[in-house]
Structure 1
Amino acid sequence: METNKSINMGYVTAVSVIAALGGLLFGYDTAVISGTVSQVSHQFGLNTMQSGWYVGCALIGSIIGVIFSGKLSDTIGRKHTMIISAVLFIASAVGCALSGSLNELVIWRMVGGAGIGIVSVVCPLYISEVSPAAHRGRLVATYQLAVTIGFLAAYLMNFYLLNQSHGYSSANPTMQRIFGTEVWRGMLGFGALPAILYFLVSFFLSESPRWLLVKSRDKAAQQVFSKIYRNQKDVSFQINETKQMLQAQAGQKTSWKIMFQPGFRKAVFIGCAIAMLGQFMGVNAVLYYGPSIFETSGLSSGDSLFYQSLIGTVNMVTTILAMLIIDKVGRKKLVYVGVSGMIASLVLIGVYFLFGSQLEWSNIFLLACFLAYIFFTAGSISAVIFVFLSEMYPTKVRGLAMSVATLSLWIGTYLIGQLTPWMLETLTPSGTFFLFAGMCIPYMLIVWKLMPETAGKSLEEIERFWQKKNA
């Protein structure tokens, strides 16, 4: 029913960009760790498993944040949940920069991890609920773009601060530690600046109109929909569509009961499967341990951080490309093409570590393979995962259902963060990347056989699809 002329794209884009700032913090806080692992490990004398714990501790916080985020956002609203996440990011960045021991550092990293877990649920969820169907994929992908910008910002900041630290001198002992002798503190602490910005602009957001309808605040919902649609008929249509779906679930008093109806239960299981499998296809291993992997191939720490910055650039640019085509091409086609390219790239990286490390131009070949892998990953599974998860579930329990699926994502991310050093050491780099390539196959089969194409469909139409599958 909606048309481009009836949609106030300026407003929708503005609120989507504000919500997507949570993704920028997600990306920065996740990727900044890659430039600090070797410094922190050296300073505190960490062994391989302890280094894995330093990386993985924030993911424990993320899992905790995910567990509470769905219920929290369904109870107090999407907007106020985002504000809480901003406070956690600010506290974490400041705490990490000033921490006096490894235990304090781990605790503050877990606080930041809780913020990551919350925004990974509530930000794409909010964008999905305010987006018109024809533009929802692109707008939700704005969140993923912000994540990649956060990745790139972290890589560039790590590279810049590391170079600046060599000649840095300050009479203030705290500043000397943060930006000189223990520059990893500056890398982690810089995240406070975008977190403060996110905290301030979140107050300008309207609440999700679909959440307002769940809470029977029809007048407030109508006011928000009126900002999204210029045509009053479209406003009435969206309100009636959502209320019809809510009335169909009116007899079920518990959120868990609705979520585990046979049709919706299948959607939850599929979401959990693709969320977890996606982490075992290697992307976070590259993002977390990229500099360490490059150093294994003989690069200096400075060169490895520069290579990682190139990876971050490709990640961001490819995400922009995916944003432009996701609503036209569809989610599933992006997965088919992208995952096929990921398999080829991962196999070539594995072959390099078997045979190619002593060849001329071997470092250039390795970089090219990594860049190709990131290109195909950013254009497929990274672009569609939060789109899929934000639109698969019924309105009444969307926050809770998405938190369950996102919990699977973070469990997989934690396991990868914890196990990658062990896999690189035990399975060797070649065996590790061959394993990642093998994990791509079940992911593609699930999307092919079990997932519907959701491009261009309203959230209510997708909800009816799962109901029909049950019937």
Structure 2
Amino acid sequence: MGILGAEPAALNGGSSNLPSLPGFFGRKNKYVRMDDVAPPPEEHEGGGAVRVGRSRSSTRYVFACSVFASLNSVLLGYDVGVMSGCILFIQRDLHITEVQQEVLVGCLSFVSLLGSLAGGRTSDAVGRKRTIGLAAVVFQAGAAVMTLAPSFRILMAGRLLAGVGIGFGVMIAPVYIAEISPAASRGSFTSFPEIFINLGILLGYISNYVFSGLPDHINWRVMLAVGIVPSVSIVFALLVIPESPRWLVVQGRAGEARAVLLKVTDSEEEADERLAEIEAAAAAATGSGQTVWRELTRPSPTIRRMLVTGLGIQCFQQITGIDALVYYSPTIFRDAGVTTESQLLLATVAVGFFKTVFIALAIVLIDRVGRKPLLYVSTVGMTVCLVLLAATLWLLAHGAVPKALGVAVAVVAVCGDVAFFSVGIGPVCWVTSSEIFPLRLRSQAAALGAAVNRVTSGTVAMSFLSVSRALSAAGAFSVFAAISALSVVFVHRLVPETKGKTLEEIELLFGDGEGESLGEVELGDAEHLVRRKG
């Protein structure tokens, strides 16, 4: 199937009775591969301290690379957070209409899908690392144009340019991190872009609050200009992080790939064995005889299942209304009864705080309790919070509850929704999309998933005010609650557990299973699948 070569590792870190795959897949290996779970520690006379020390060093190196690769995600988060407050002042300064507000807010997501789609091909052509740098440069240009914009048209031009840069960044970071991380911590490391998005949102909210006291023709420009600062640090990041060893092998640069593997593995022997496996997998992918896009548009049953899961979870992440809450939280709180601008912006800081804290919790838990339990907690919790918010807004609109109580419940419901989002579907969405596809399809399939994410995000952002006007805010959140309930069913039926599994074993989960849903193909069923394939 053109996957990276490796024998199925012990599931959940234990021993495995799975049969060996043919050829070089079948040899035993005492070392920890980048895509394998860690084996029990071995004792070596006089050498144990060296092995432990090197293991810790390689983990710290992968950690640092994951952090630097995620810096572009701060830009997306900052833009989302800061625009929720900027729009209040832009409206007064440039005298824009409600429709123009929706277009200004929502266009970023639609334009970023172009960057995401182009990012897949670009990262295959020039490399993962250079694509990260390109994302930062394009965003910087867009942010500078927005900061100096004298009119709505120029502001839109800058926002469109920034959107392309964000599209590149949001697509490439999870792919790069997944390709350099060990399976035992891949979920945590691949979640880093999501925590940086949330950190950016929080910084955007804080920026709104800090600079709101400036004159209306200056404050929103300062808020947008501050967003350029994180992207400058990416220049330093590019000097630190290596290129993906998988991409280097595909380009025929095996010597450079080996040098990278020596930094992210625990021994020279392990690096050489990893290199041999990646070379064999790259050769298999090159000889598949199909172009990537043809394989994605005319997928086999296995790839079709992967696409349904990968694209579906990207869609549900956004269509449950998270961007409506983040972009329009001041508007929602104003409808609930919060009156002063300082109170509105301070309430949004609370929203950003909850998003950031709970994404940090998700990073701690994702490789311990697994992806699917977090998805269950997330989707069920979001559904409950959205129902509570819709009911509260309806009761407030009809004067059925005291205003103070209604405002308090609305704030709690919004904070609860973003907290449940951040602890589950927010980060798990990107982890799943980056790890379920085989090497030959990974970057462009992930780009397609990011594009779906951006389309649904833009649809929600650009239509929320109009839908709220037509159905009322309570009606709009009732729709989001119904969709969130559907996401629970989707997770149960179509998302398998991938915790602790190699990228090769994950591909087996989407294999032949005629008549059985992927929801039933859990960790314990992997042995059954492999035996059927054998």
Same structural fold, with TM-score higher than 0.5 when normalized by the shorter chain? yes
**Is 1:456–2:500 an aligned residue pair?**
yes
Answer whether contact 1:263 1:469 (CA < 8 A) is retained.
Answer: no
- The CA deviation at 1:214 is 2.0
Write the deviation string for residues 208-238 of structure 1: whole angstroms up to 9, x where unpaired. Answer: 1111122232221111111001223432343
Please name the residue that 1:220 is paired with: 256
Residue 273 in structure 1 maps to residue 323 in structure 2: no
Give 5+ residue unaligned stretches, structure 2. Answer: 1-30, 33-37, 40-51, 515-532
Kindly report which structure 2 residues correspond to 1:362-441, keeping only aligned pairs within 5 A, or say none. Answer: 362-441=406-485
After TM superposition, give the deviation of residue 192 of structure 1 in Å: 1.0
Cα distance change of structure 1 residues 75 and 47 upon mapping to structure 2, 3 Å threshold: same
Please give the per-residue CA displacement for 1:187-210, whole angstroms capped at 9, x wherever unaligned: 111111111112332232100111
CA distance in 2, matches of 1:276, 1:30: 18
Offset at residue 396 of structure 1 (A): 1.8
| In the alignment, structure 1 residue 306 sits paired with structure 2 residue 346 | yes
CA distance in 2 between counterparts of 1:333 and 1:237 reads 34
Q: Distance in 2 between matches of 1:452 and 1:215?
A: 32
- CA–CA distance in 2 between the matches of 1:203 and 1:213? 21
Query: By how many angstroms is 1:261 displaced?
Result: 3.0
> Which of the residues 192, 199, 212 maps onto 2:235?
199
Point out the structure with the larger helix share.
1
Per-residue CA deviations over 1:29-59 (Å, capped at 9, x if unaligned) read: 2221111112222333333222111112222
Equivalent-residue separation in structure 1 for 2:249 and 2:485 (angstroms): 40
C-alpha separation between the residues in 1 aligned to 2:211 and 2:151? 21
2:526 matched to which residue of 1? none
Cα deviation for residue 468 of structure 1 reads 4.9
Residue 368 of structure 2 aligns to a residue in which SS? helix
Quote the residue 2:367 is aligned against. Answer: 327
- The answer to whether the Cα contact below 8 Å between 1:29 and 1:112 also exists between their aligned partners in 2 is no
> Which moved further from structure 2: 244-253 or 49-58?
244-253
Give the SS at the match of 2:240. Answer: coil
Specify the alignment match of 2:282 in structure 1: 246
Seen in structure 2, the aligned counterparts of structure 1 residues 319 and 461 have a Cα distance that, compared at 3 Å, is: same
- Per-residue deviation, 1:253: 4.2
Partner residue, 2:162: 112
Secondary structure in 2 matching 1:436: helix
CA distance in 1, matches of 2:377, 2:476: 23
Deviation at 1:395, TM superposition (A): 0.9
Q: Which residue of 100, 122, 125 corresponds with 2:172?
A: 122
Considering only aligned residues, what root-mean-square deviation do their CA atoms show, in Å?
1.8
In the alignment, the residues of structure 1 paired with residue 384 and residue 203 of structure 2 have an alpha-carbon distance, to the nearest angstrom, of 28
Whichever of the two has the greater Rg, that structure is 2
Instruction: Show the 5 A alignment for 1:61-140.
Output: 61-140=111-190
Instruction: Work out the percentage of aligned pairs sharing the same amino acid.
Output: 29
Answer yes or no: is the 8 Å Cα contact 2:393–2:406 preserved in 1.
no
Say if 1:328 and 1:119 are closer, same or farther in 2 by CA, change over 3 A.
Answer: same
Offset at 1:394?
Answer: 1.3
CA distance in 2, matches of 1:127, 1:270: 20
**Separation of aligned partners in 1, 2:389 and 2:452:** 27
For 1:294, the equivalent position in structure 2 comes to 333
Aligned pairs for 1:28-47 (under 5 A) are 28-47=78-97
Asked whether the 8 Å contact 1:58–1:106 carries over to 2, the reply is: no
Amino acid at match of 2:373: K
- Taking a change above 3 Å as real, the CA distance of residues 181 and 41 of structure 1, as seen in their structure-2 partners, is closer
CA contact (8 A) 1:245 1:460 kept: no
Paired with 2:70 and 2:108, the residues of 1 have a C-alpha distance of 21
Q: Does 1:352 align with 2:386?
A: no
Letter in 2 for 1:134: A
Aligned partner letter, 2:197: V
Residue 16 (1) aligns with residue 16 (2): no
Secondary structure (helix, strand or coil) at the match of 1:454 reads: coil
CA distance in 1, matches of 2:74, 2:324: 19
- Of stretches 226-235 and 73-82 in structure 1, the one that deviates more from structure 2 is 226-235
* Contact 2:96–2:152 under 8 Å retained in 1: no
Secondary structure of the residue aligned to 1:230 is coil
Calculate the TM-score normalised by the size of structure 2: 0.82
Look up the equivalent residue of 1:71 and give its one-letter code.
Answer: R
Alpha-carbon offset, residue 128 of structure 1: 0.8
Paired amino acid for 1:318? F
Contact preservation (8 Å) 1:275, 1:405: yes
Task: Describe the superposition over 1:119-158 as per-residue Cα deviations: whole angstroms up to 9, x where unpaired.
Answer: 1110111111110000000011111111110000000011
Question: TM (normalized to structure 1)?
Answer: 0.93
Per the TM alignment, residue 469 of structure 1 is displaced from its structure 2 partner at its CA by 5.1
Name the amino acid aligned to 1:51: Q
Kindly report structure 1 stretches of 4+ aligned residues shifted beyond 4 Å. Answer: 467-471
